């Protein structure tokens, strides 16, 4: 029984995306997180600095109802447009998008 | 020093960026489109993607990629069985600054590599990886005649 309780609460927690960036993020990650949250109202949002320190490479995952009915190129275009200025300063960005169910 | 600079640039952009975006948005799309992409570069790109089934704009060359993302795309085509010498036309954007900025504008896509199949923009590295994993890429490559279907790849008994 306790096991079931825990797994249920995990599911619920993972579906809630906080409007304010998690405290564990660095400044660059927080900036991207806030912009993406505002634009996409995501049901899942992960922003991770994968540069190893220089802040020039990020991994981003967005699951949002805004992507419904769009193919992958169009989904990525929306994110690219939102982070247009930021991407110019990066070496790379690893992007995963998905339409929220 | 380098990493400090890019980190602070990123942080600063959170305030400066909104002005830039607002101003850009006020301009007609065409004003932006003619800013970097010269007619000659546009023609190079158009000729390449209309004259070749598979075109990749990348950093480095298929044999010596100079970026992990470009390398990943080459590895995918290799695994898929694309004849790189014969079927793949590539451009090293590190050797051509105008092409480097021009292709980003042409595709409205901010990053390199960029893959065109049969004249159409298919995606960058992440989309290639996803399509490779879910089988869509194989389907597309077979449809465009860039690889042989698995069953016909072996001679009949």
Does the pLDDT at position A12 exceed 70? no
What value of ipTM does the predicted structure carry? 0.75
* Predicted TM-score (pTM) of this structure: 0.75
Is residue B59 within 8 A of residue B112, CB to CB? The reply is yes
Residue A7 sits at the chain B interface (C-beta within 8 Å): no
Residue A80 with chain B: CB contacts under 8 Å: 109-111
Residue B35 sits at the chain A interface (C-beta within 8 Å): no
Give every CB contact of residue A13 below 8 A, 6+ residues apart in sequence.
none
Going from N- to C-terminal start, the domains of chain A cover: 2-99
Task: Over range A23-30, report the average pLDDT.
Answer: 94
- How far apart CA B109 and CA B124 sit, in angstroms, is 8
Domain B38-147 has CATH 2.40.50.140: no
Number of H helices, E strands in chain B: 8, 4
pLDDT at residue B36, rounded to an integer: 75
> Per residue in B97-155, pLDDT tens?
999 999 999 999 999 999 999 999 999 999 999 999 999 999 999 999 999 987 655 55
Question: Shortest CB distance from B126 goes to which of A31, A88, A95?
Answer: A95
Which superfamily does CATH assign the domain made up of A2-99 to? Answer: BolA-like (3.30.300.90)
Task: Over range B26-47, report the average pLDDT.
Answer: 73
Minimal CA separation from A63 to chain B, in Å: 15
> Per residue in B62-107, pLDDT tens?
999 999 999 999 999 999 999 999 999 999 999 999 999 999 999 9
């Amino acid at each position: 029984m306790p096991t079931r309780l825990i797994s249920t609460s995990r599911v619920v927690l993972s579906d809630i995306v906080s409007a304010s960036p998690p405290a564990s993020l660095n400044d660059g990650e927080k900036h991207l997180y806030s912009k993406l949250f505002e634009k996409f109202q995501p049901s899942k949002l992960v922003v991770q600095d994968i540069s190893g320190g220089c802040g020039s490479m990020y991994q981003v995952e967005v699951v949002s109802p805004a992507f419904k009915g769009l193919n992958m190129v169009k989904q990525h275009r929306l994110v690219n447009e939102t982070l247009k200025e930021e991407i110019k300063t990066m070496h790379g960005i690893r992007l995963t998008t998905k339409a929220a169910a | 020093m380098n990493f400090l600079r890019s980190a602070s640039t990123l942080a600063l952009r959170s305030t400066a960026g909104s002005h830039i975006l607002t101003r850009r948005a006020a301009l007609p799309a065409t004003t932006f489109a003619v800013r970097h992409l010269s007619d000659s570069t546009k023609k190079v790109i158009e000729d390449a993607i209309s004259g070749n089934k598979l075109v990749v704009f990348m950093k480095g060359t298929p044999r010596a990629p100079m970026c992990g993302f470009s390398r990943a795309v080459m590895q995918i085509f290799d695994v898929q069985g694309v004849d790189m010498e014969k079927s793949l036309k590539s451009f090293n954007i590190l050797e051509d600054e105008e092409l480097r900025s021009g292709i980003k504008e042409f595709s409205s896509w901010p990053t390199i590599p960029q893959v065109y199949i049969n004249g159409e923009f298919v995606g960058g590295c992440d989309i290639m990886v996803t399509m490779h994993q879910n089988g869509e890429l194989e389907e597309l490559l077979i449809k465009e005649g860039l690889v042989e279907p698995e069953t016909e790849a072996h001679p009949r008994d």
